[in-house]
A and B are shown apart, each in its own frame.
Chain A
């Protein structure tokens, strides 16, 4: 039963992606939406089993680790699976009405989206380094194709740059996997964990370093963020939401998994190593926020906000000796995932309605599109870390972990980052609240927009806020063998 749940989570998206490709443009949604509903159900069942009987591992087709493919699900991976499906379903409903209006751009959306989700689910369930590489590559290539599928010259340039970055990242990861295999003759994470110790040969340290850098490039951690803003800011709204909310989380998850799993021996012995990602994370928060505050186009603003928000995820690395830091990281991944998807979706509505994507052109939006502005504001509250929201809980956990270990610098970075986030969020809200006389000749005109778009954005924004009132279950899930 367990086996089926996990395997189907990978197979289902592959099946509907292939069918959507054959069915032709515009028909994919009819398959995707029910299938995504089913996937969500599967994840919930999986979460139920894992929280009852603890982490599970399984050998696909009955072949064990050295020969066959091992899948594993613990609290951490189930949490990430849950986040993926929870965002994917409303996003698919949104994309369906988004691309109806503007058909040619969405031609390849459904097949690519399916492959992407299959890659993500596979990545969260994989138990060996090489499988992780395969899924990582699948995710990266599908994401690049989604950016390029828009077809504009700007998007193509962004996609090429993205392709370069993602190949560099996964290439360096693959090299590291080869080094590990040469050293130990295995790629299974469970087997590697006890044998990699602080006395490991230099080549293992080199492999660890390559993985760290490769995954930081793929997660767009400052200063490797150069590819992210054009790619996320240039793609169409549903694609941006998918990339910002989910794709960058995958490489972060992988880094966290390696840090706590196979490489725990190395990371524990090099106490200061955690400060490298943390320092870069702090710089990402400042740089990303300042760029967001200055951005002229609304989607660039949101994309730079992603650069900043990803920084928080890396602040947890020096603190990982306490359980609270891991919880803070996962809460932040949820908060940012839900809120950023909602924010890109709301931006999509605003752009569709005004026909422009400049922040300045939003005057009067609060009057014309109150639901959308409300969704944007709610998502902004989460990103700013104001209560009640998941972002607030993430901040609380992170600051508490930091103070507990005397890392005051991290607490200060988190607080200042929150204020900077308020700077760019309220820049948009301020513009939206500006009152424009309806009869003025130069008043921007608002085109009607399907209500589904507005409601889906609001749904995810509300989820990001409401998670701030009930985080107990999620945190208990993460505690289940998350550090295994």
Chain B
């Protein structure tokens, strides 16, 4: 095994092995568990930096392993996978820190962090999968490792949320599986490749376009459940019963992103963007994405529960990525890809902040947030930055995504998509600005719903809870302002689009 084959495995091992050891540690061993967690997270970051430099220089990282005769487990690190991996690795580190602060003294911490590590391992596997078979293995592993996290609190309500989550994701998984096997049966393999693997197949005339459309529908429905595309989104608001770090992970990094990432892989590297366009698959996908964007925003507007409002906001925002993918042309692709990262950074900030409000003052509802900005100024600052980013305000990451998406829509002659994006921005403002307004300008109540943590000097809450949202809020600004630097998400998205469309990309 060469070093280039071993690196993808090392990326998996850097969270899998600590995870397995953590399962066996007694709950009271906080120090050892934390050390293992952080060791894994930092090792993974280092490995990913090595891979980033390597892939930028044109190196290949390939690992093949036969599971059955004719059926291979394949890991491949490419630019697109790395985009997702870098995002996950960085946010995993921050979420781990946050979770350590959040779960202090609560029971079953070893189980929690064990599954937490498995969950990140599954995400890495999804990002590095070199064919649909491998993708599916980790996609289902993600379902299995997130279920114990969703039901972590062990209450009846948590169980019901978890059950709904399972029903949706397992059914989606079954549809995905049959699509994959069908494809595998026709082609003899299901490898991801630039410009897709289907065009040759149709050229032979052996398979009708109808069959290929059917497979596309099965695959997209399968991954669409996790991406929470309307009408497959029902599990997401229910899964809000999970502890805040889990919601953060689910919404920004792991589950919905795995779904969106799957859509990207299927459209670009199974069907190929041009072939998908010739089969007339992209327009329906764009329409579904547009409906989801508007529907999610509208529903968010009517939620009083803060986490539920954020959940519907996620449904809307993730479909920006899908819309970008479905806009035929490099500009839309770049917009979609870059939003994969930007949405992650902004949404995790919002969930961290929501968790802070709940843990510190017992605030769960928007209507309870009057004047909270004066009690928790730093958290509210971070929340405000991320919320402005979601609206697409200048100097934030969200603005960059939105500019490229709008340009992409214009280039693809789909002016209606521009209207969808503007409407969504307005709705975003309509449900985020009142929160900010309330927390800054309204008078604070005499007593908070349940004040768990009291103020200590300048620190409005535990520092492990405070640090992660501040970092991600800063990142929202940095990625919005320094867009032209060599390793910014935008530059990397352009690098990926160049590989897909050739040298035409701006």
**Residue ranges of A at the interface with B (Cβ–Cβ < 8 Å):** 327, 366-367, 370, 374, 381, 386-388, 392-393, 395-397, 399-400, 403-404, 411, 415-416, 418-419, 422, 426, 430, 433-435, 468-472, 475-476
Partner of A435, one of B68, B137, B153, B185: B153
Cβ-defined contact, A399 with B171, below 8 A = no
CB B323 to nearest CB in A, in angstroms, measures 30
CB B192 to nearest CB in A, in angstroms, measures 18
What string of 1s and 0s marks CB contacts (under 8 Å) between B56-73 and chain A? Answer: 000000000011110101
Cβ-defined contact, A393 with B178, below 8 A = no
Known: A434-B154, A471-B68. A415 touches B136 (CB 8 A): no
CB B7 to nearest CB in A, in angstroms, measures 20
CB B481 to nearest CB in A, in angstroms, measures 43
Q: With the chains together, A418 CA to B137 CA distance in Å?
A: 15
Inter-chain contacts of B177 with A (CB < 8 A): 395-396, 399, 415
- Asked if B491 is an interface residue, CB under 8 A from chain A, the answer is no
- Asked if B470 is an interface residue, CB under 8 A from chain A, the answer is no
CB B309 to nearest CB in A, in angstroms, measures 27
- Asked if B174 is an interface residue, CB under 8 A from chain A, the answer is yes
Cβ-defined contact, B68 with A393, below 8 A = yes
Cβ-defined contact, A396 with B181, below 8 A = yes
Q: With the chains together, A475 CA to B71 CA distance in Å?
A: 12
Inter-chain contacts of A411 with B (CB < 8 A): 178, 181
What string of 1s and 0s marks CB contacts (under 8 Å) between B166-179 and chain A? Answer: 10001101100110
B155-191 CB contacts (< 8 Å) to partner A: 155-156, 159, 162-163, 166, 170-171, 173-174, 177-178, 181-182, 184-185
Partner of A475, one of B68, B178, B185: B68
Cβ-defined contact, A367 with B184, below 8 A = no
Known: A399-B177, A419-B174, A471-B68. A433 touches B148 (CB 8 A): yes
Partner of A433, one of B68, B141, B154, B174: B154
Inter-chain contacts of A434 with B (CB < 8 A): 154, 156, 159
CB B185 to nearest CB in A, in angstroms, measures 5
Cβ-defined contact, A403 with B181, below 8 A = yes
Cβ-defined contact, B67 with A470, below 8 A = yes
Cβ-defined contact, A404 with B185, below 8 A = yes
Inter-chain contacts of A404 with B (CB < 8 A): 185
Cβ-defined contact, B67 with A393, below 8 A = yes
Inter-chain contacts of B184 with A (CB < 8 A): 400
Cβ-defined contact, A400 with B162, below 8 A = no
Q: How many residues of B contact A (CB 8 A)?
A: 36
Cβ-defined contact, A430 with B67, below 8 A = no
CB B170 to nearest CB in A, in angstroms, measures 5
**Which of B67, B141, B148 has the most chain A CB atoms closer than 10 A to its own CB?**
B67
A-B contact pairs, 5 of them (CB 8 A): A397-B68, A400-B181, A426-B166, A434-B159, A435-B153
Cβ-defined contact, A388 with B185, below 8 A = no
- Asked if B151 is an interface residue, CB under 8 A from chain A, the answer is yes
Cβ-defined contact, B68 with A469, below 8 A = no
**Which of A411, A472, A476 has the most chain B CB atoms closer than 10 A to its own CB?**
A472
Closest B residue to A438 by CB, please name it: B107
- Asked if B257 is an interface residue, CB under 8 A from chain A, the answer is no
Q: With the chains together, A381 CA to B140 CA distance in Å?
A: 10
- Asked if B144 is an interface residue, CB under 8 A from chain A, the answer is yes
Cβ-defined contact, B67 with A469, below 8 A = yes
Known: A370-B111, A396-B181, A400-B185. A435 touches B154 (CB 8 A): yes
Inter-chain contacts of A435 with B (CB < 8 A): 107, 153-155
Q: With the chains together, A399 CA to B166 CA distance in Å?
A: 22
Partner of B174, one of A374, A393, A415, A472: A415
Cβ-defined contact, B141 with A422, below 8 A = no
B108-155 CB contacts (< 8 Å) to partner A: 108, 111, 136-137, 140-141, 143-144, 148, 151, 153-155
Q: With the chains together, A370 CA to B115 CA distance in Å?
A: 13
Inter-chain contacts of A471 with B (CB < 8 A): 67-68
B465-502 CB contacts (< 8 Å) to partner A: none
CB A372 to nearest CB in B, in angstroms, measures 13
Cβ-defined contact, B137 with A387, below 8 A = yes
CB A312 to nearest CB in B, in angstroms, measures 15
Inter-chain contacts of B67 with A (CB < 8 A): 393, 468-472
Cβ-defined contact, A403 with B154, below 8 A = no
Known: A399-B178, A403-B182. A472 touches B69 (CB 8 A): yes
Known: A387-B140, A399-B181. A476 touches B159 (CB 8 A): no
Q: With the chains together, A393 CA to B166 CA distance in Å?
A: 21
Q: Kindly list the 7 A-B residue pairs having the minimum CB-CB distance in the complex, ordered from nearest.
A: A435-B154, A387-B137, A415-B174, A399-B181, A471-B68, A403-B185, A386-B140
Q: With the chains together, A246 CA to B297 CA distance in Å?
A: 56
Cβ-defined contact, A388 with B137, below 8 A = yes
CB B383 to nearest CB in A, in angstroms, measures 31
Closest B residue to A433 by CB, please name it: B151
Q: With the chains together, A363 CA to B108 CA distance in Å?
A: 15
Known: A430-B163, A433-B154. A381 touches B71 (CB 8 A): no
CB A234 to nearest CB in B, in angstroms, measures 30
CB B78 to nearest CB in A, in angstroms, measures 22
Cβ-defined contact, A426 with B163, below 8 A = yes
Cβ-defined contact, A388 with B68, below 8 A = no
Closest B residue to A408 by CB, please name it: B178
Inter-chain contacts of A475 with B (CB < 8 A): 68-69
CB A392 to nearest CB in B, in angstroms, measures 8
Partner of B71, one of A370, A396, A416, A419: A396
Inter-chain contacts of B153 with A (CB < 8 A): 435
Cβ-defined contact, A419 with B108, below 8 A = no
CB B110 to nearest CB in A, in angstroms, measures 9
Cβ-defined contact, B73 with A469, below 8 A = yes
Known: A387-B141, A404-B185, A415-B178. A430 touches B159 (CB 8 A): yes
Cβ-defined contact, A422 with B151, below 8 A = no
**Which of A430, A468, A471 has the most chain B CB atoms closer than 10 A to its own CB?**
A430
Cβ-defined contact, A476 with B154, below 8 A = no
Q: With the chains together, A411 CA to B137 CA distance in Å?
A: 19
Closest B residue to A436 by CB, please name it: B154
Cβ-defined contact, A419 with B69, below 8 A = no
Inter-chain contacts of B141 with A (CB < 8 A): 387-388
Inter-chain contacts of B178 with A (CB < 8 A): 399, 411, 415
Inter-chain contacts of B68 with A (CB < 8 A): 327, 393, 396-397, 471-472, 475
B20-69 CB contacts (< 8 Å) to partner A: 23, 66-69
Inter-chain contacts of B174 with A (CB < 8 A): 415-416, 418-419
Task: Please give 7 more A-B residue pairs, beta carbons under 8 A apart, in addition to A393-B68, A400-B185, A416-B174.
Answer: A367-B107, A386-B173, A396-B181, A418-B174, A430-B162, A472-B68, A476-B69
Inter-chain contacts of B107 with A (CB < 8 A): 367, 435
CB B17 to nearest CB in A, in angstroms, measures 16
Partner of B136, one of A370, A387, A422, A430: A387
Q: With the chains together, A309 CA to B379 CA distance in Å?
A: 53
Cβ-defined contact, A381 with B154, below 8 A = no
